[in-house]
Amino acid sequence: MQYLFKSEDQEVDLTTPNDTVAEFSLLYKKLIIGTLKLDNGIWSFAYSNEFKGQEEISPIVDFPNKNKIYQTRNPFPLFLSRIPSLQRLKIQHIIPQNFTTDDVSLLKLFGKQSITNPYQLIPQS
């Protein structure tokens, strides 16, 4: 189970319910790099055919095989790193009251841009 902390005494559970379905496109400029999906509690990442057909941009280090569908029960670190610490007061003010603080909702709210990589993560559902 994953936790982020709003304060020292209040934990926030980031676990998304198993019945949640979500899809995100990962882009670099106008090129769709791949798709991040959550279905039945399984996260998956697969490269797009467009990305597989080009040779200019190398695969992401965490996903070296262009033809493999990567799967895990926990969100991939590459994407989790897009969610800022919920301890930060500024972040606490951005999150709407009664907001569901699971990993999918937080990725939709904060995940589009990251200072750690040049990709955009766009929610599709």
Res 108 pLDDT > 80: yes
**Total length of the chain:** 125
CA dist list (Å): 122 to 11, 31, 42, 52, 96: 27, 12, 19, 19, 20
Mark out the alpha helices in 1-125 (DSSP H runs).
49-52, 77-80, 89-94, 103-110
Q: Are 2 and 15 in contact (CB under 8 A)?
A: yes
- What is the structure's pLDDT at 114? 83
Q: Are 85 and 91 in contact (CB under 8 A)?
A: yes
Residues 39-57 have a mean pLDDT of 96
pLDDT tens figures, 20-34: 899 999 999 999 999
Q: What is the pTM of this model?
A: 0.79
d(CA 85, CA 68): 31
Burial class (CB in 10 A: 0-12, 13-18, 19+), 18: exposed
pLDDT tens figures, 52-105: 999 999 999 999 999 999 999 988 888 888 776 666 667 666 766 776 667 887
Mapping DSSP to helix (H, G, I), strand (E, B) and coil, where does residue 76 land?
coil
Fill in the amino acid letter for 17: P
